[in-house]
Amino acid sequence: MTNLTAISQASSYVKKHIKENPAIGLILGSGLGVLGDEIENPTIIPYSEIPHFPESTVSGHKGQLVIGTLEGKQVIAMQGRFHYYEGYSMEQVTFPIRVMKDIGVGSIIVTNAAGGINEDFNPGDLMLITDHINNMGDNPLIGKNDEALGARFPDMSQSYDRAYIQHAKDCADAIGLNIQHGVYVGNTGPTYETPAEVRMLRNMGADAVGMSTVPEVIVSRHAGLRVLGISCISNMAAGILDQPLTHDEVIETTEQVRESFLKFVKQIISTLPQ
């Protein structure tokens, strides 16, 4: 079966269950899935029901689509995403982006938990992603290119939409939220970095490190979607503080910032230019 057929079978399945097609796609990272619970009149579709969707395996991720209204906008949210470290192919990791595009989404807000590399950051900070470094040693667009999905050599020079970044900064100001901005580097994981790797990543120009987002943003740009990226700095990256990292710490911090994260993203959505 061609990829295009799989995409359209998945998107038809979702469309059958909803009345209005969403305009904004949300990818909710570790501990940030609560935003999906705020969606009004939700249609909830577990990934396991959707043709060709893989199933999410990591704890703290739910594994379902939530479609409905948020701040008066039609949205489709992924509560839980597919990670490369789970053993999925890059194509599987990014399949939901193709499906959201096929459903009619024009903008993607991608969120994640990330380790702070920039020493001016603190756990609990929110960071607008201004650019990324693909350090995964793979790319979801490797292989035969289907021109129906996007260009062979996509431009990545403004992957994180400048107008969206400005809009998000204005929203942060409006609600009195102190926001960071910086470069996100995507590693495969599942190991956290060594302190030496964190020093290397800092020298490479990264401000925050995580194990997701880069593949989804590459495919979003290939598909012509506008992207806004937000990292929740859940911990300082390895070696910065003299303490080991745990997934529990990551989840705890994302829970602590829940209220400001929710308020911020809702403010962004309510007035997002489209």
Q: Which residues bind ligand HPA (CB under 6 A)?
A: 113-115, 192-193, 209-211, 234-235, 237, 245, 250
Active-site pick, 61, 132, 181, 222:
61
DSSP SS3 for 110: strand
Q: Which of 172, 208, 211, 236 is catalytic?
A: 211
**Per-residue exposure over 198-226, b if at least 16 CB sit within 10 Å of its own CB, e if not:** bbebbeeebbbbbbbbbbbbbbbbbbebb
Position of minimal CB gap to ligand HPA = 115
Instruction: Please identify, using beta-carbon distances, which residue of 24 and 90 lies nearer to ligand HPA.
Output: 90
**Closest distance of CB 81 from ligand HPA, Å:** 13
Does 212 qualify as catalytic in the annotation? yes
220 in catalytic set: no
Task: Say whether 47 is catalytic.
Answer: no
Q: Measured from the CB of residue 199, what is the shortest distance to ligand HPA in angstroms?
A: 14
CA distances to 136, 210, 232 from 139, rounded to whole Å, are 8, 16, 24
Give the integer Cα–Cα distance in Å for 32 and 111.
8
- Least distance (Å) from ligand HPA to the CB of residue 115? 2
Known catalytic residue at 132: no
144, amino acid identity: K
Q: What is d(CA 96, CA 83) in angstroms, rounded to the nearest whole number?
A: 12
Looking at the chain, the number of H-run helices and the number of E-run strands are 8, 9
53 or 261: CB nearest ligand HPA:
261
DSSP H or E stretch at residue 242: none
Give the residue with the Cβ less far from ligand HPA, 79 or 234: 234
For 81, the token pair is: 């995403």
Query: Is 86 annotated as catalytic?
Result: yes
Minimum gap (Å) between residue 254 Cβ and ligand HPA: 9
In the complex, the smallest distance separating the C-beta of residue 207 from ligand HPA, rounded to whole angstroms, is: 12
Which of residues 12 and 243 has its CB atom nearest to ligand HPA in the complex? 243
113: annotated active-site residue: yes
d(CA 31, CA 82): 14
What amino acid positions are annotated as catalytic residues? 30, 61, 83, 85-86, 113, 211-212, 235, 247
